[in-house]
Amino acid sequence: MQTVQKVAAMRLPPLPTVRDLINLFGLRAKKQLSQNFLLDPRITDKIVRAAGGKKLRGAHVCEVGPGPGPITRSIFNAGIERLVVIEKDKRFLPTLEILASASGNRLDIHLGDVLSFNMSKMFPEELRAQDWAHKPPPINIIGNLPFSVSTPLIIRWLMDISERQNVWTYGRVPLTLTFQKEVAERIVALERDKQRCRLSLMSQAYCDVELKFLIKGSSFVPKPDVDVGVVHMVPKSVPSVAVPFKVFEKVTRTVFCMRQKYCIIPFKRLFPESLRHTLAGELLKKIHVDPTRRPFQLTMEEFSDMASIYWETCQKIEGLFEYNFRASVPDRNEPEWNSRVLENEILTG
Ligand code: SAM
């Protein structure tokens, strides 16, 4: 069969609109779950084009937070092979089941929380890429989740990408996700941009990132108070940092806690008081950074060098990595990263 005919055959047959199904099943958006639906097919088609458009033909896709299924329909209409959805709210089961049957049973529905969902065996074995550097496998992740979920989720997933676990056991699976506009801008912000923050460094260390387009809040039902950015992320074949994720996370967290100060000030916070003066000065000299530059002005390369030298020093000085400047004594029980703290930092810059 010709490709165009094949794609047409894989499209969904005519169905009641999502709005009609929402009314039929009484699926009012739950405010406490930050549910805002995208009912304009031009926008949901645009999200799917941002995920790869024609490249999705014959691909396997996972949609997170499908709700009543508006993006789900656009994904099917892109001629994909199979779709897996992960949805927390079981009220959407009937509308998703309609799509499952209309698609010829090419939809697998999982009721669950994407934050704890193990995606490492979700797709057929033969889709696994030969190795990490190989081109991404024909698998895509797409989602319009509540912002309270997408921000901690992306940090968790960046760690999974860095450790090649979860769905990234299949290779460099790309992501297309929506975020609050300000968060989307921070993910892609380059050095000297006023939006540059820890999330920019962490995202760009492990992924090529692109802000595809913005969606006005008024396009959602009900309308949220903010606008939305659609971000496409492809894991890098070689990450920009050579240290473990937890080390890069700690360095960026410590340095960005004072993003407007001369960088020497937060650099010192990486070390206990007795070693601070010598080690922070040495670190700056080794990476050739002027101590009066501000954290948001530093490049990825400079951050990467800083993290490598800091990590080398940690291997030589016992307990240095566990040192936490916020605690008066080193706290070995402090979580390595805390998504709630990070989420606050990300939203406030
Ligand atoms: N994708 C639909 C759209 O674009 O209209 C719905 C978007 S609505 C903003 C977010 C959806 O994610 C809701 O259906 C909600 O129930 C679901 N959701 C929220 N938290 C979730 C979680 N932790 N795991 C899976 N789904 C979640």
The yes-or-no verdict on residue 133 having pLDDT over 70 is: yes
Question: What is the second-level CATH architecture of the domain 2-235?
Answer: 3-Layer(aba) Sandwich (3.40)
CA of 150 to the centre of ligand 1 (A): 10
Scored b (16 or more CB within 10 A) or e, 222-253 reads eebebbbbbbbbbbbeebbbebbbebbbbbbb
52-66 pLDDT per residue, tens: 988 999 999 999 999
Averaged over 260-277, what is the pLDDT? Answer: 91
Of 18-22, 152-156, 268-272, the range with the lowest mean pLDDT is: 18-22
Q: What percent of the chain has pLDDT over 90?
A: 74
Q: Which CATH architecture fits 245-348?
A: Orthogonal Bundle (1.10)
Quickly state the pLDDT bin for 90 (edges 50, 70, 90). very high
Q: Where are the domains of the chain?
A: 2-235, 245-348
| CA 73–ligand 1 middle distance (angstroms) | 15
Pocket, ligand 1, Cβ cutoff 6 A: 33, 35-38, 64-67, 70-71, 86-89, 92, 113-115, 144-146, 149
Q: What confidence category does residue 268 fall into, taking pLDDT thresholds of 50, 70 and 90? A: very high
For 218-256, how does the pLDDT look when each residue is reduced to its tens digit (9 = 90+)?
999 999 889 999 999 999 999 999 999 999 999 999 999
Class of residue 156 by CB neighbours under 10 A (exposed 0-12, middle 13-18, buried 19+)? middle
The pLDDT of residue 151: 87
Least Cα distance to 188 among 206, 209, 168, 172 occurs for 209
User: For residue 73, what pLDDT is reported?
Assistant: 97
> What is the structure's pLDDT at 7?
67
At residue 342, the pLDDT reads: 52
Cα(115)–Cα(215) distance, integer angstroms: 24
Choosing from 34, 91, 122, 149 the residue with most ligand 1 atoms within 8 A of its CB, the one to mutate for a pocket test is 149
Is pLDDT at 337 greater than 50 in this prediction?
no
The pLDDT assigned to 259 comes to 80
For residue 325, the model assigns a pLDDT of 85
- Under a CB-based contact definition with an 8 Å cutoff, are residues 66 and 38 in contact? no
Which pLDDT value is given to residue 316?
94
Mean pLDDT of 10-24: 86
Task: Give nearest CA residue, ligand 1 atom 11.
Answer: 65
- Helix (H) or strand (E) holding 211, with range, is strand 207-215
Q: What is the mean pLDDT of the chain?
A: 90
Burial 173-194 (b: 16+ CB within 10 A, else e): bbbbbbbbbbbbbbbbbebeee
| Segment holding 249, helix H or strand E | helix 245-255
In the predicted structure, residue 174 carries a pLDDT above the cut 70: yes
Q: Is the pLDDT of residue 75 over 70?
A: yes
State the Cα angle at 304 between 300 and 305, rounded to 5°: 120
At residue 324, the 3 state secondary structure works out as coil
- Which tokens hold the place of 11? 């499209």
- The whole-number pLDDT of residue 334 equals 37
